[in-house]
């Protein structure tokens, strides 16, 4: 199998380790194979592919789409390094309000599967980073677009700002005005 699927501390969020075949010419790897993903429990139809490029210190998120247009995402970093975060926003989940985070990079080639019912964000740790992600569940829907402020005190996400020499994250105007977790879910 060209992938290793690693469970995280939050059920259904899966770290995907592709098998990389490398030599002096470069490398080859599969980034998605429907049958392998289905056999691992990731049985989704991908509807949209997104590609973003961000400079160091850019923080995008914490984004999600509200019912009935929730999205799942398979995230990978093809250039540079990011700190990728998934927050469980599934009502009734035993890990509701909990988060997991992983460094994804062009070097480690890890991917993160974030199912529907999660908020997602990433912080760019390298000078630049390019991220590709496959989207399932629903295409982008502006009327269902929502998010949680990045520095929410209830979530207490441990962003590695200081470790990477980032004074404060560079946010879009929209992301700087997002609500807190409790404002949305209480």
pLDDT digits 0-9 by tens, 15-62: 999 999 999 999 999 999 999 999 999 999 999 999 999 999 999 999
In this predicted structure, what is the pLDDT of residue 186? 86
Specify whether the backbone of 124 is left (phi greater than 0), alpha (psi in -120 to 50) or beta: beta
User: Is residue 140 in some structural domain?
Assistant: yes
Residue 114 forms beta bridges with which residues?
73
Instruction: Give the CA distances from residue 99 to residues 49, 157, 158, in Å, rounded to whole numbers and listed in that order.
Output: 24, 7, 10
90 annotated as ligand-binding: no
Q: How confident is the model at residue 108 (pLDDT cuts 50, 70, 90)?
A: very high
> Which two structure tokens, joined as six digits, stand for 65?
């789409």
Summarised one tens digit per residue, pLDDT across range 58-70 is: 999 999 999 999 9
Structural contact between residues 6 and 17, judged by C-beta atoms closer than 8 angstroms: yes
Mean pLDDT of the region 119-125: 99
- Confirm whether 51 is a catalytic residue: no
CATH number at residue 165: 2.60.120.10
* From 32, 63, 98, 102, active-site residue: 63
User: Is residue 65 in some structural domain?
Assistant: yes
51 annotated as ligand-binding: no
- Show the domain range for 57: 45-185
User: Is residue 49 in some structural domain?
Assistant: yes
User: Is residue 3 in some structural domain?
Assistant: no
User: Is residue 15 in some structural domain?
Assistant: no
User: Is residue 72 in some structural domain?
Assistant: yes
User: Is residue 26 in some structural domain?
Assistant: no
Q: How many structural domains are present in the chain?
A: 1
Structural contact between residues 148 and 178, judged by C-beta atoms closer than 8 angstroms: yes
Residue 61 forms beta bridges with which residues?
121
User: Closest by alpha carbon to 109, among 8, 23, 28?
Assistant: 28
76 annotated as ligand-binding: no
Helix, strand or coil, per DSSP, at residue 150: coil
User: Is residue 31 in some structural domain?
Assistant: no
């Amino acid at each position: 199998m060209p992938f290793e699927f690693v469970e995280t501390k939050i059920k259904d969020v899966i770290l995907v380790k592709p098998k990389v075949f490398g030599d002096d010419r470069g490398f080859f790897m599969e980034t998605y194979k429907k049958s392998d993903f289905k056999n691992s429990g990731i049985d989704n139809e991908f509807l949209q592919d997104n590609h973003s490029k961000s400079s160091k210190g850019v923080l995008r998120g914490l984004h999600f789409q509200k019912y009935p247009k929730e999205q799942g995402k398979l995230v990978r970093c093809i250039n540079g390094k990011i700190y990728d975060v998934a927050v469980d926003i599934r009502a009734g989940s035993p890990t509701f309000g909990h988060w997991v985070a992983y460094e994804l990079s062009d070097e480690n080639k890890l991917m993160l599967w974030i199912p529907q019912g999660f908020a997602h964000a990433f912080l760019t740790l390298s000078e630049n980073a390019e991220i590709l992600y496959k989207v399932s569940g629903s295409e982008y829907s502006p009327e269902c677009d929502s998010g949680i402020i990045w520095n929410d005190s209830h979530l207490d996400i441990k962003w590695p700002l200081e470790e990477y020499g980032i004074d404060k994250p560079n946010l879009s105007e929209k992301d700087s005005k997002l609500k807190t977790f409790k404002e949305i879910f209480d």
